[in-house]
Each structure stands twice: as structure tokens, then as C-alpha cells.
Structure 1
Amino acid sequence: MAIQTQAKIPVLDFSNENLKPGTASWSSVREQVCRALEEHGYFVAELGNKVPLELHDTMFDAVRELFDFPTETKRKVIYEKPYHGYSSIANLHERMMIDNATSPEEIQRVTSIFWPDGNDHFRESADSYVRLMKELDQMVTRLLFENYGVEKYYDPHMDLTTRTLGFLKYKERDIDDDDQIKTGWSRIEGLPSHADKHFTSILHQNRVRGLEIKTKDGEWICFEPSPTSFIFLAAESLQVGLRQILMVFLN
């Protein structure tokens, strides 16, 4: 399983159904994951047939329908955490963040806000989608913990981990190239450059090339999305841990 590069983004193959701890393929991908996150802080996870095209299309169709609801309906999705639930920024960016998304009861609660009579298609698809992302996150985290000799902390870490499912809608921003360079705003996304604050993030796009990633050399690169490819990012908490580990190894 060789690492490929898509415009300087490592691409790792997670489509193998037999990718299990203790196998040769597991050891190989463990080395690749750690190298990619140490050197870049991100990689593309290619899941292949693990992501049915129907699931991808259903989720994005449902998200479009969800954002078409009246604002007063969307604002009923509320959580105590700042910027969770529904929020919007200057008519450029809408976001719906569902806390505790691995709980079928929570998915059902949010579903009932928009579809009081039920929407089994959305609920079941959201549950399947979240379960798929949870499995990917657990696998990558286990690979990291094993590689750095802290696997005994894997289970306690997972017990304390909560997951959020985010739906995001961006509108095109009318700025020129000079403004984009000065402000860090993307014309396509309408969102300033930023780093996530938590441990890991998994991003999945529709077919619009809206995501740009900044390399360690300061270059902004685009990602060519597909229904089966996901960007796996080391967020700030994990990046700090990786830097500390590397300092120990180098010293």
C-alpha cells in the first residue's frame, strides 16, 4: 500500500476490509499514517467501497434540504457549547453542528425538529454516516497510539471522546485576489483560514472544490473531492502532541 500524492496531499488507502491489528497491512498503514501526520498534519483517506454512492448522495441531498428550512426552524437546534447547533455568519456561511452525534437518540431528536412526522431515510443515513466516520477515527487513533507506545491509553481516550457531526453551507464571496491574500478569506468558501481546536477532524465535500489546505511551506493547495475520499486532519490538540513526541525522539 503505497502513499500517493494528490497535489502534495498524501493519499492513503483504507478500503481494505482486512485492515486489522496484527496484520502486515495494518503495520504498513500505521507507518504511513504517522509519517503523513508528522510531515503534513493531514492526509486523504480513500475508503472505496466502504462508502456506498447512495449514502454520499443521500447525505448531501438531505443537507441541502435541511438548509432550505426557514431560519426559525434551524435555530431550534441548540446546544450549550458556543457555535454548536445552528449558526450563520453574514449570510456567507451556515453551519449545523450536532453534538453527541454517535447517539441514535440525538440524531432522532434533531430529525424530529425538521420532520415532526419522521424521516427514516435521513435518520438512518445520518446514523450510517456517523458510524463510518467513527470507525475511521478510531482506526487512525489506534494506529497513532500503537506507533508511539501509548496504546494503554487508547481505551480511556476513546471513553472520553465525544463526536460532533457538522453540516456546512458556503456561499461565493465577491473578492479579488489581492483581498484574498490580505484577509485570508477564500472566494469560494467565504470562511477565513483557521485550525480546528480539538483532536482530529474528518472533512467530506460534495463535488465543489471549496477546500484549500495550507502546507508547511505556506502554499495553499486545493483538494479534488470524490464521494469516497475524506480529508483527515490533525487538529491543534493532536498537533501539539505530535510536536512533543518528535522533540523527544530527536533529542
Structure 2
Amino acid sequence: MNWHEEQCLPILDFSRDKLMPGTSHWITTRDNVRKAMEEQGWFVAEFDGVTSDLRDSLFTGMKEMYDLPYEIKIKNENHKVSHGYMSMVVDDYRIHESLGIDYATELQACKDFSKLLWPQGNDPFSQSTHVYATALAEIEQKVMRMLYESYGMDEKKHSASHSESTRYLLRMLSYRRQRNGEANTGFVSHTDKSFMSILHQNHVGGLHLKTMTDQWVGFKPSPTRFVVLSGMGLTAWSNDRIKACYHKVVMSADEVRYSLGFFSFHKGTIRTPEELVDDQHPLRYNPFDHDGLLRFYESYLNSLKKSSEDLLQVYCGVDP
């Protein structure tokens, strides 16, 4: 495992031509994925599946999207929490905006999203968001395959059922510092409610990740580096072996930070596989509906005004 010297980042080589199941590179990477996920809930994948042309086309499309009038962007509605249009305003200045494409690995969903914002359609944007989402789904599915293998599970059976039961949300996000020049710290430390999250961005820094020693490290952006984080879904699935990763955005740069968040969610019930329950690891979570967790999170925050640290335990934890 290549630990980035200044940052203590575990960087794993996910190059397409090297990552063939059964090879020594696959086995080493697989073991390092499990180690990084169990120790701190995240790692960085060096991945060549997103070309510079695709990246340029995406960021160009995102800039055009943010330039659209507010009343057009808010058409991106979704009843699921953090799935549709969101913004954050400080002193009449918009410091954050984000829009989401649910089921982004399906071309029709990307076309529908584009048509919503550009009535005449926007074929280049539909194509680039779809191709991008498909490439990132490849990373997510490889990580899951490695975890199945590493835990001694029937990889073929589980991989097939995982891809059938997973939907992918692509969120496009923009961040800027406050108008008075102060750093934007509105994006507090949090864990994701997804199964897994993959973060990618332009050259403007701002993402901070928590290490196994509870240190915060800044992620130094690179076009071919993707941060793979565990969400609450993976915590429940792994029976607490893998904890959800804490991360935050602190914006102090003058430039706008554009980033892409790719999130996997189960379409139905998340349950801990029997292979991950034993005397040392008694069952921690009851099976639960993933969308139900999102609805509960929304009402939990609104009613209790609490952070979501113990959300999973409250929602579906097994009584000790």
C-alpha cells in the first residue's frame, strides 16, 4: 500500500489493465482495501477509467448548469433526502449548490435530468454524466467483490445480487468561500447515509478526511484520484467491521470548487450476511430498508436536532 507521505493517505492502484481477479496485484489490492476500510473507512483509488476529455466535458457542463436561473435548477426535485437540488446561502451569497441524478448509470435518467434543465435537451451532458457514472460503478463493484472474497463469501452469488439491488446517485456540487473572504466551514463533519461513496473533484482543495488516529488530513486533488468512503449501509452490512468515514469540506480558496459525489444505495433491504456473524461478531443490526433509513434520518434531524452519529443504532440496532 502506498501511503502518501505528507498526508497519510492509503493510495491503491485501480488501473483497469492491472486489476484482474486472481492476479497477485488483485490479491494485494484486495487485502489493502479491506485493511483500509476496516481501519479508517476510506482509501484513495488511482483510477484511469475517466479520461481527461470526459472530465473536462463534465466540469464544463457543470459550470453551464450552475449558470442557469435558480427557478430552473430547483426543478431538480427528489423526495429522498439529499437527492435533489440543494443550496446554502450566507448573507445573500450562495456558497454551495448541488444537484443530483438518481439512477445515473441508466442513460434515460441522465437524459431526463438534462431535459429538465435544458428543455431542448443537452446530449453532451447526458452522455458524459452517464459514461462517468458507469465508470465509477465499476470501482464500487470491484471494491464489493474484493470484500466478498476477503471475507470468504461466495463472490459470484453476492456480486450478482449486489449489482441487481443497487442504485447509483450522481451529485454535482459547487463550493465557494464566503463573500467576506472568510473560509467556508458550513459543511460540518459527517458520515454518509449511502452504502458507499466515491468523491472526485477539480483542482481546488477543501476535502478533509479523518484518519484511524482521529487526525484530519487534507486531500490533495488529482484528476485520477478518487476517494472511496464507507457509508452507513456498509457499516450495517459488515456487522460493524467497517465504520462509516467522517469527512468535511473547508473552503478557503478564491476559486470555485467543483466536485462529484457518486453514492450507492440499496433499492430494498440491507441485511448482514450470515458469513459475517459469529461468536466474536454477534449480529449488531436488524435488516432495514435503505430508503427508510434516509426518511428516518430526515425526521430524526428535524425532531431531535441531533447529529447522526448513533442514527444506525437507533434505527435498526439489535438490543444488547
The interval holding the TM-score normalised by the smaller chain is: 0.7 to 0.9
User: Residue in 2 aligned with 1:3?
Assistant: 2
User: Residue in 1 aligned with 2:77?
Assistant: 78
**Structure 1 residue 217, shift from structure 2 partner:** 2.3
**Structure 1 residue 25, shift from structure 2 partner:** 1.9
Structure 1 SS opposite 2:119: coil
User: Residue in 2 aligned with 1:99?
Assistant: 102
Higher-helix-fraction structure: 1
User: Residue in 1 aligned with 2:220?
Assistant: 224
**Structure 1 residue 56, shift from structure 2 partner:** 1.1
User: Residue in 2 aligned with 1:239?
Assistant: 235
CA–CA distance in structure 2, aligned partners of residues 131 and 189 of structure 1: 32
CA–CA distance in structure 2, aligned partners of residues 248 and 229 of structure 1: 36
Higher-strand-fraction structure: 2
Structure 1 SS opposite 2:43: strand
User: Residue in 2 aligned with 1:118?
Assistant: 121
Q: Map of 1:51-200 to 2, 5 A cutoff? A: 51-90=50-89, 91-150=94-153, 151=155, 152-173=157-178, 187-188=183-184, 190-200=186-196
Cα displacement string for residues 106-130 of structure 1 (whole angstroms, at most 9, x for unaligned residues): 1001111222223222111111101
CA–CA distance in structure 2, aligned partners of residues 218 and 18 of structure 1: 32
User: Residue in 2 aligned with 1:12?
Assistant: 12
**Structure 1 residue 75, shift from structure 2 partner:** 0.9
**Structure 1 residue 243, shift from structure 2 partner:** 5.7
How many residue pairs get aligned? The number is: 239
Q: Which stretch shifts more, 166-175 or 211-220? A: 166-175
**Structure 1 residue 244, shift from structure 2 partner:** 3.6
Gap regions ≥5 residues in structure 2: 243-276, 282-320
Higher relative contact order (CA 8 A, sep 6+): 1
Contact 1:102 1:130 in 2 (8 A): yes
CA–CA distance in structure 2, aligned partners of residues 250 and 167 of structure 1: 41
**Structure 1 residue 249, shift from structure 2 partner:** 9.0
**Structure 1 residue 80, shift from structure 2 partner:** 2.3
Cα displacement string for residues 54-86 of structure 1 (whole angstroms, at most 9, x for unaligned residues): 111111111111111111101111122123211
Taking structure 1 as reference, are residues 175 and 69 closer, same or farther at Cα in structure 2, changes over 3 Å only?
Answer: closer
Q: Which stretch shifts more, 146-155 or 224-233? A: 146-155
Identity %: 38
Normalising by structure 2, we get a TM-score of 0.69
CA–CA distance in structure 2, aligned partners of residues 243 and 223 of structure 1: 28
Structure 2 residue identity aligned to 1:55 = L
Taking structure 1 as reference, are residues 16 and 4 closer, same or farther at Cα in structure 2, changes over 3 Å only?
Answer: farther
Contact 1:188 1:210 in 2 (8 A): no
Q: Which stretch shifts more, 199-208 or 240-249? A: 240-249
CA–CA distance in structure 2, aligned partners of residues 158 and 16 of structure 1: 19
Cα displacement string for residues 4-59 of structure 1 (whole angstroms, at most 9, x for unaligned residues): 325011000111414222222211211111111111211110013x3211111111
Structure 1 residue identity aligned to 2:224 = T
Gap regions ≥5 residues in structure 1: 177-186
CA–CA distance in structure 1, aligned partners of residues 167 and 111 of structure 2: 17
